[in-house]
Amino acid sequence: MRLGLIGFGAMGKEVARIAKERGHEIVAIVDPKAAEATAKVIDAKALEKAEACIDFSSLNGVMENIEKTAALKKNMVVGTTGWYEHVGEARKIVGKRGIGFVYASNFSVGVNAFYRIVAEAAKAMNGLKEYDVFGYELHHNRKQDSPSGTAKSLAKIIVNNFSRKKKVIYEKLDRKIEADELHFASIRGGSVPGTHVIGFDSAADSIELKHEARSRAGFALGAVLAAEWIKGKKGFFEVNDFMNDLLEGKHV
């Protein structure tokens, strides 16, 4: 495929590397600051040759990027996080322009398998009243959002499958936690690519599920696979739609 990259920070560079390894051509790099950029802003000339675009840009610009890219009739993969209160607006834009669009809080195939493992674990532990559940995540000191989009997705999965938890607390607690509250903490520091831990704890023992990214390669590979998957499609998709096909062996 001929791919356009929107945002060329650390993730954009890793996406470019993985895409080239898989035989794709990078025909556009849109970034206002990167020396390697072929354009500073999205317009018809910048994305003229691109069949699909992968966005790992900034939270502040993602909705504008979606509007401009969709107007140019380019299918789109969005890995930028933190913009999800605007999902309804993005869905309308995609429908109006008739493009294919897939987004995720985390495109790592391993993380998306982890989501399913956590869901099954929460269901299994739900009836065991002796166990409480918690979560925490660690990321590098350059990450722009906290908690991570992945943490929010995990928290939602737990609340949906662990009936004793009704709401999520991401901030610090200066009080006793309520029985119906799930505490999900965030830590920022160093160069940690991304670690997420879910714990089920009782007086007798403790069970922990952990996903630890070794590098950005897993996130980048998932985004490139999603771009391959969205080729020829129209509609608004979440990562689960892509993963369902991947796990059933429908993705080539």
In order of their start, the domains of the chain are 2-107+216-247 (3.40.50.720), 109-212 (3.30.360.10)
Average pLDDT rounded to a whole number, residues 65-73? 98
Annotated catalytic residue, options 68, 139, 152, 196: 139
Tell me, what's the pLDDT at 126?
97
Annotated catalytic residue, options 143, 233, 234, 251: 143
Tokens of 175: 């009080």
pLDDT at 249 over 80: no
pLDDT digits (tens, 9 = 90+) for 82-133: 899 999 999 999 999 999 999 998 899 999 999 999 999 999 999 999 999 9
pLDDT at 140 over 90: yes
pLDDT at 4 over 70: yes
pLDDT digits (tens, 9 = 90+) for 146-180: 999 899 999 999 999 999 999 999 999 999 999 99
pLDDT digits (tens, 9 = 90+) for 12-66: 999 999 999 999 999 999 999 999 999 999 999 999 999 999 999 988 899 999 9
Tokens of 57: 């840009």
Candidate from 43-47, 109-113, 206-210, 243-247 with smallest mean pLDDT = 243-247
Q: How far is CA 176 from CA 126, 155, 156, 173, in A?
A: 22, 19, 22, 7
pTM above 0.85, yes or no: no
Tell me, what's the pLDDT at 98?
97
For the beta carbon of residue 75, count every other beta carbon within 10 angstroms. Answer: 23
**pLDDT band for position 76 (cuts 50, 70, 90):** very high
* Nearest-angstrom CA–CA distance, 11 and 85: 23
Average pLDDT rounded to a whole number, residues 209-234? 95
Indicate if 139 belongs to the active site: yes
Q: How far is CA 64 from CA 41, 67, 129, 166, in A?
A: 10, 5, 47, 34
Pick the residue with more confidence: 176 or 246?
176
**pLDDT band for position 248 (cuts 50, 70, 90):** confident
* Nearest-angstrom CA–CA distance, 220 and 243: 15
Tell me, what's the pLDDT at 251?
59
**Angle at CA of residue 54, ends 50 and 59, nearest 5°:** 135
- Of 238, 206, 127, give the one whose Cα is nearest residue 197: 206
* Nearest-angstrom CA–CA distance, 220 and 16: 8
Tell me, what's the pLDDT at 218?
92
CA atoms within 13 A on the CB side of 247: 12
Strands (E), 86-180: 100-103, 132-139, 167-169
Tell me, what's the pLDDT at 158?
98
* Nearest-angstrom CA–CA distance, 212 and 196: 7
Average pLDDT rounded to a whole number, residues 225-242? 95
Terminal-to-terminal C-alpha distance of the chain: 13
| CB neighbour burial string for 133-171, b if at least 16 within 10 angstroms, e if fewer | bbbbbbbeeebebebbbbbbbbbebbbebbeebeebebe
Angle between helices 109-125 and 149-161 (to 10 degrees): 30
pLDDT at 252 over 80: no
